[in-house]
Chain A
Amino acid sequence: MRFRPGKIALIATVVVSYLFLYLPIVHIGLASLSRNSSFPYPPHWSFATMSRLLGNSLYQTALGNSLLLGVLVATLSTALAGAATIGLMRHAGRKTTLFLALFIAPLFVAEVLLGISSLIFSGLFLGLQGNLGSAVLANVVHCFSYALLIMATQLYRYDWRLDDAAMVFGATPARTFFEVTLPLIWPGLLGAFIVTFIMAFNNLEISFYLLGATPTLPSVAWGALRYGVKPELYALATCVNLVVLCVLAVMFVLMRTGLATFGHRPERERAAV
């Protein structure tokens, strides 16, 4: 092969970029799985910190709360954003852009601000004490906008005249939704669900203000920081990363097999057999 500086520079850039992205994560992974956790090079493999994490009841409660928060937020925001997106797309008119802009605007509010103002709002007007419920509501505000963006890109391509066809052939509006619309747009809904789940699961800025005394993984990790970073924290981070990677892997496999597109379309249609 000929010596090509351009190609070498390109490969180097790619390698450096990926190192930059993944080195911290790999470092934490190594640290959580070795005895010499402060400088695991080379690692002395051990599951000690992992088992200490699993024995810690605070972390277990936190994990449970985080999962609950994630699922509730993802379900609520996906359902709401789904309804909003379908409404916007199906009955598109001159005001669609305005409605869309207003739905997406919360994305541009800093999460910390959203957290503080939600805290004040919940306390003053809703009479909500800081607990999981108020945290779910505040996170839904944020995740709704993301879910809407994800679904809008997917539903943009949906041909609403398919619904017309279903109705002409005798399907009620509800039947039309479940037989035609949903089977064709579910990848968009699933994509929105997964992304909002990960966002809520990992969220600290908003949840921190609204959780009250309820521990979640990010808030426990944040609290642990004050007493010095313990190896359990490495283990925790590794576990969280593993969960997220698994979810992403599922999405990736679904996309590769063409089962779902999540808004990304390599070809226009399912490949012919």
Chain B
Amino acid sequence: MSYISLDGVSKQYGAAWAVDRVAMAIEKTEFVSLLGPSGSGKTTLLRIIAGLEKPTNGRVLIGGEDVTDLPPHKRGVAMVFQEFLLFPHRTVRENLAFPLRMLKLPKTEMDERIDWVLGILSLRGLEGRYPNQLSGGQQQRVALGRGLVGRPKALLLDEPLANLDRELRQEMEVEIRKHQTALGIPFIYVTHNQEEALSMSDRIAVVRNGRIEDFAPRAEIYDRPKTAFIAQFVGRSNRFVGVLKREGATAAIDAGAVALATADRPGLKDGAPVAAYVKNEKIRLRTPETLHAVGANALAATVKHVILRGPYAEYVLTWAAGEMIASRPRAEVEFSAGDAVVAHWDPADVDVFPEKEAAA
């Protein structure tokens, strides 16, 4: 029995379904991300779990108990809001004490818990400040602390790092995951940032138009996208549009200027219009001297410019039918703008989807 279950949860606003028949089962020690574009229904789903929104249909179970009709203050879950929503008339210490006072904990235990949170989130010395006297990063830590301090049954996080700069965000990602492991409670983390989802989660649920497109371990989401939407949304890919030709155990895609080879796709008909995705880092580069044959999964290109990303470089290439990007570790041979190269990739790295879906 999973710890949190959503059973056909839907939420209707007017005529539109913000959340549409969502079913999920989350384990007690799991870190789950809800990843999806803006307006896909992530916040609504989180608010339904918290009890701030009543689902139009479906049930929510926490710890085996049906909480669908329980108000938020009886659910024992906590939330870190995107806008922090710290109580502006309360100091940091009072903000952190709030969940504990509601739990009616004895004073000594309250002090202990607050001290623990101040310690793990390095907030010591800021106890007496009001939220508007804190920097964005400090406010974010207080909001996180307020979520952790009551040792909730689950912690819901709604894009808590969205307002932070990149460096602080990466630091916090590590912190958050550490606290989740230490507490042993499920974290449900909403984000539209794939890097965040990939860096912290055990499993990722990709949300699209209120529906769960796929809910799977993060490596699977990244390496074997189940739909064209996921292929496009997670990771950075090059897209080729063409027609599928099945040849026994393999399939080929005629994409005009280039032919792609891939494993067989039994679900797709011969001659079906398809879109193929190859991740940037799966594209390998050679000089034309070392790889002459421009056949399947290989094409001749010219380096247009090079974007340096520290440990790896992104090569923007022009080829006969447009542009593509290859990212390579800097330890490999480096190319510079104007170089002629041959880009090639493995059949296993080609993800193929029917083109109708890809266009949507």
Contacts and interface: CB of A to CB of B under 8 A. Distances in A.
B52 A167 contact: yes
Given A159-B85, A167-B71, A270 B132 contact: yes
Given A162-B87, A164-B52, A184-B89, A169 B99 contact: yes
Contacts, number: 64
Nearest to B71: A167
Interface string B76-107: 11110101010111000000001100110000
Contact of B73 (A171, A184, A269, A273): A171
A171 B87 contact: no
Contacts of A169: 73, 78, 98-99, 102, 146, 150
A108 B77 CA distance: 49
Interface string A171-190: 11101000110011000000
Contacts of B102: 169-171, 175
B336 interface: no
A165 interface: yes
B146 A272 contact: no
A168 interface: yes
B89 A167 contact: no
B50 interface: yes
A270 B130 contact: yes
B132 A167 contact: no
9 contacts: A164-B81, A164-B85, A165-B81, A167-B51, A168-B50, A168-B79, A169-B73, A170-B99, A171-B98
Nearest to A180: B87
Most chain A CB atoms below 10 A, which of B73, B130, B132, B150:
B73
Given A166-B98, A168-B52, 12 more contacts: A161-B83, A164-B72, A164-B81, A167-B52, A167-B73, A168-B72, A169-B146, A170-B73, A172-B73, A183-B89, A184-B89, A270-B132
- Interface size on A, as a range, is 20 to 34
Contact of A167 (B72, B83, B103): B72
A161 B150 contact: no
Most chain B CB atoms below 10 A, which of A164, A173, A175:
A164
Contacts of B146: 169
A165 B139 CA distance: 15
Nearest to B146: A169
B12 interface: no
A165 B50 contact: no
Contacts of B81: 161, 164-165
Contacts of B132: 269-270, 272
B186 to A, nearest CB: 16
A50 B256 CA distance: 103
A248 to B, nearest CB: 25
B103 A165 contact: no
A179 B50 CA distance: 20
Contacts of B103: 170
B137 to A, nearest CB: 16
Interface string B150-184: 10000000000000000000000000000000000
A168 B130 contact: no
Most chain A CB atoms below 10 A, which of B87, B103, B130, B146:
B87
Contacts of B76: 170
A165 B50 CA distance: 10
B85 A165 contact: yes
B133 interface: yes
A172 B71 CA distance: 9
A112 B281 CA distance: 81
B85 A161 contact: yes
Nearest to A162: B85
A7 to B, nearest CB: 38
A241 to B, nearest CB: 35
A271 to B, nearest CB: 9
Please provide the 5 A-B residue pairs with the shortest distance between their CB atoms, ordered closest to farther. A170-B102, A269-B132, A165-B85, A169-B99, A167-B72
